[in-house]
Amino acid sequence: MKLMSARLGNNRTIAYSLLLLNAILWGTAVPIIKHSLQFISPPVFLFYRFVLATFLFFPIFLIYKSKNKHRINIPHHLTLALLGTPLTLLPLFYGLSASTAIESSIIESTSPIFVLLGGLVYLKEKVRPKEWLGVLFALLGTLLLTAYPILHQSPDSLSTKGNLLIILSNFFWAAFLILSKMTSSPHRLR
């Protein structure tokens, strides 16, 4: 029993360490990407990123495909691929290049709000009253942060356009996640 408990404790430590590493990597991503966008355009940056990801993950895909012989719905997977990658990342990267790093980070981190709202509408998920209060505060904060440049500068401020592009990116990401969840549940498709 102690051996089993030690293994679980060790696995939990590894899992939490990896979650911490993930949070650190994603937390530093926005400032690094924003700095990189001073030297390269968003489409070129994403092109190199996609090429690198293809070389890294294509062998994994081939191994997975050889072990799993199920049919792939190409139009469905293509839609998910477009929603989850270029349609999400292009507005995000253009938004990052036009907005401040702190505004970008905060607005980009509000994507779970859009996922929650989409889940209510399309997946008929339930939200408790306390959660509604949190969503309301998060939405108000996001709206204030997005509109801040309008309130303190001209309405055609570059930062405002960047903030709106990041919100658009959040909508695409939410659509990707909701469509993925809708189609991953067998009872939702039939």
Closest by CA to 125, choosing from 136, 138, 112, 109, is 112
Distance CA 134, CA 117 (A): 12
Distances (CA, A) of 143 to 3, 140, 184: 52, 5, 32
Per-state percent for the chain, helix, strand, coil, to nearest 5:
85, 0, 15
* Burial tier of 169 (Cβ tally within 10 Å: 0-12, 13-18, 19+): buried
116 near 107, Cβ under 8 Å? no
pLDDT, tens only, 37-65: 999 999 999 999 999 999 999 999 888 88
pLDDT at 189: 44
- List CB contacts of 125: < 8 A, sequence separation 6 or more: 116, 119
Residues 119-176: tens digit of each pLDDT: 999 999 888 888 888 888 888 888 887 777 777 766 556 688 888 999 999 999 999 9
Let me know: does 78 contact 179? Beta carbons within 8 Å.
no
Mean pLDDT of 7-14: 76
The whole-number pLDDT of residue 129 equals 86
Residue 103 makes CB contacts below 8 A (sequence gap 6+) with 145, 146, 148, 159, 162, 163
Q: For residue 30, give both structure tokens.
A: 């926005």
pLDDT category at 12 given cuts 50, 70, 90 is confident
Percent pLDDT > 70 in the chain is 89
Rounded Cα gap, residues 51 and 47, in angstroms: 6
Give the closest residue to 29 by CA, choosing from 83, 86, 96: 96
pLDDT at 2 over 60: no
CA geometry: angle at 90 spanning 56 and 63, to 5°? Answer: 20
pLDDT at 15: 87
> Is a pLDDT exceeding 50 seen at residue 74?
yes
